[in-house]
Structure 1
Amino acid sequence: MPRKYNQEQIDFAWKLHTQDHMSYSEISKKLGISKATIYRRFRELRGDSA
């Protein structure tokens, strides 16, 4: 199944989290991406396993 959000969108969300110190909830509301998707994609960025 193709991903709904491209890497550029996820990178922007990551910047909001790491540089602007926004919470997953705040990012979710601002960008319209579910918290579950944010959590999952950030975990992938960090290289964390399941």
Structure 2
Amino acid sequence: MVKTVHQEDQDYREMMLLIVIVHLGAMALLWRKVKRRSLDIVEDVFINIF
């Protein structure tokens, strides 16, 4: 009984870890895109101002 509960807990932790890793990867990609786009916007603004 205890062993199966521990096994389920282990599987749950591995699933959570996988989800977190995938989520972080997606966020990093999204952040890179957003950062590039916001940098382009900032450059456009500076060009328009000056």
Larger Rg: 2
So what's the TM-score if we normalise by structure 1?
A: 0.29
Q: Indicate the structure with greater helix content.
A: 2
So what's the TM-score if we normalise by structure 2?
A: 0.29
Instruction: Tell which has more relative contact order, 1 or 2 (C-alpha 8 A, sep 6+).
Output: 1
